[in-house]
C-alpha cells in the first residue's frame, strides 16, 4: 500500500467535510457567553498549556453545561465574524477535552489511542467520532475544523488556537477565546507556539518547525510565506532563505488523566 501523506489527507478532509453550514439564518439567538469554559481553563490549564484532565473531570458537569450551551446555540447569521470564529474555536477545544474524558477509563496516553488501533481516514480516527450535535446536526471534530472553520474563515492563525490534545499541538489557551480580543489572542497564540522550543526551534540560520506548517502550508501561504509567518512571531529571526525542516510530532497527551 502506498503511503498517504498528511497534506493530501488534510486536503481530502477539507473536501469531504466542506458541506457543513450550521449558521441559523432565522435564529435571533445572541452570542453565547464562554464564561463557564473560561473558568475551567483558568483553573485547570497552566500558562504553558498543560491540561489537568483529572481536575476537569471533577467538574465535568460544568463542562457538560457549557457543551450544551454550544449545542443549543449554533451561530446566527447576525453574529459578527469574530463572534462566530471564537464560538467554533472554543467548541473544537472543549469537545476535544470531552473526548479525552470520555475515554479516560481506557488509560489512554494519546488521543490516537481512542478507537480502533487501525485508523482509517474519514472513518474511525478520533477526529471522526460523531459525538457532537450542533444546530441539529451530528458531527465530529473534523467537521468543525475542516468543514466549518477552514471553509468559512480565511484565517491561518486558527492553527495556533485549535488544540488536538497532543504535546506538539499549540498550547491550550488558559482562557476562552472571545470576539472582543480575538485578534490579539490569536497573535499571542502565535508567539507562544513559535517560541516554545519543544514545538519549534528558530535560530538566525535555520528553522526546525512544527509539521503543522507542512500539513496546513496552503492555509498559511494564502497570505505569506512560511518563513515570514515564522519570523513574524519568533523572538529570534531567521535570515532570509534559511533552511526549513520539520520537527517530529509528539502525540503524547498534553496533560494528566
8 Å CB contact between 32 and 134: no
Domain boundaries along the sequence of the chain: 6-196+250-256
Whether residue 97 is predicted with pLDDT greater than 80 in this model: the reply is yes
What Cα–Cα distance (Å) separates residue 22 from each residue in 33, 84, 149, 152, 252?
Answer: 19, 11, 11, 11, 32
Mean pLDDT of the chain: 91
Q: Quickly tell me which residue has 535560530 as its cell.
A: 203
Distance, CA of 17 to chain centre: 16
Average pLDDT rounded to a whole number, residues 238-246? 97
Average pLDDT rounded to a whole number, residues 70-96? 97
Q: What is the pLDDT of residue 124?
A: 80
Comparing 2 with 122, which gets the higher pLDDT?
122
Grid coordinates given for 257? 488523566
Average pLDDT rounded to a whole number, residues 181-201? 98
Torsion 104-109-110-115 (CA) sign: negative
Residue 3: Cβ-neighbour burial (10 angstroms; 0-12, 13-18, 19+) = exposed
Whether residue 6 is predicted with pLDDT greater than 50 in this model: the reply is no
Average pLDDT rounded to a whole number, residues 124-144? 95
Q: What is the pLDDT of residue 116?
A: 72
Q: What is the pLDDT of residue 28?
A: 63
Q: What percent of the chain has pLDDT over 90?
A: 85
Comparing 189 with 25, which gets the higher pLDDT?
189
Query: Computed over its alpha carbons, how large is the radius of gyration of the chain?
Result: 18
145 DSSP assignment: I
Q: Quickly tell me which residue has 453565547 as its cell.
A: 32
The closest of 218, 161, 209 to 185, measured between CA atoms, is 161
Q: What is the pLDDT of residue 79?
A: 97
Grid coordinates given for 238? 531567521
The closest of 38, 18, 30, 23 to 134, measured between CA atoms, is 23
Phi, psi for 54 (deg, rounded to 5): -60, -40
8 Å CB contact between 98 and 67: yes
Whether residue 153 is predicted with pLDDT greater than 60 in this model: the reply is yes
Average pLDDT rounded to a whole number, residues 202-226? 98
> How would you classify the pairing of strands 244-246 and 207-209?
parallel
Q: What is the pLDDT of residues 14-69, one digit of tens each?
A: 444 455 566 654 556 899 999 999 999 999 999 999 999 999 999 999 999 999 99
123 DSSP assignment: T
Whether residue 121 is predicted with pLDDT greater than 70 in this model: the reply is no
Phi, psi for 226 (deg, rounded to 5): -60, -40
Q: What is the pLDDT of residue 52?
A: 98
Gap between the Cα atoms of 194 and 186, Å rounded: 12
Average pLDDT rounded to a whole number, residues 160-180? 98
What Cα–Cα distance (Å) separates residue 247 from each residue in 81, 228, 252?
Answer: 33, 18, 15
Q: What is the pLDDT of residue 144?
A: 98
Amino acid at each position: 500500500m502506498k503511503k498517504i501523506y498528511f497534506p493530501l489527507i488534510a486536503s481530502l478532509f477539507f473536501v469531504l467535510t466542506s458541506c457543513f453550514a450550521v449558521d441559523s439564518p432565522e435564529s435571533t439567538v445572541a452570542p453565547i457567553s464562554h464564561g463557564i469554559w473560561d473558568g475551567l481553563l483558568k483553573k485547570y490549564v497552566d500558562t504553558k498549556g498543560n491540561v489537568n484532565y483529572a481536575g476537569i473531570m471533577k467538574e465535568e458537569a460544568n463542562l457538560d453545561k457549557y457543551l450544551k450551551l454550544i449545542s443549543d446555540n449554533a451561530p446566527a447569521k447576525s453574529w459578527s465574524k469574530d463572534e462566530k470564529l471564537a464560538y467554533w474555536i472554543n467548541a473544537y477545544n472543549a469537545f476535544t477535552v470531552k473526548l479525552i474524558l470520555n475515554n479516560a477509563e481506557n488509560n489512554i496516553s494519546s488521543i490516537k489511542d481512542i478507537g480502533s488501533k487501525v485508523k482509517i481516514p474519514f472513518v474511525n480516527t478520533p477526529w471522526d467520532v460523531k459525538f457532537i450535535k450542533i444546530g441539529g446536526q451530528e458531527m465530529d471534530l473534523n467537521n468543525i475544523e475542516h468543514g466549518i472553520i477552514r471553509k468559512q474563515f480565511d484565517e491561518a492563525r486558527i492553527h495556533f488556537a485549535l488544540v488536538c490534545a497532543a504535546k506538539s499541538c499549540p498550547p491550550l489557551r488558559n482562557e476562552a477565546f472571545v470576539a472582543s480580543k480575538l485578534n490579539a489572542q490569536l497573535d499571542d497564540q502565535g508567539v507562544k507556539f513559535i517560541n516554545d522550543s519543544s514545538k519549534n526551534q528558530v535560530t538566525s540560520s535555520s528553522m526546525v518547525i512544527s509539521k503543522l506548517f507542512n500539513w496546513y502550508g496552503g492555509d498559511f501561504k494564502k497570505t505569506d510565506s512560511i518563513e515570514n509567518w515564522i519570523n513574524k512571531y519568533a523572538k529570534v529571526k531567521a535570515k532570509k532563505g534559511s533552511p526549513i525542516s520539520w520537527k517530529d510530532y509528539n502525540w503524547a497527551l498534553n496533560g494528566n488523566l
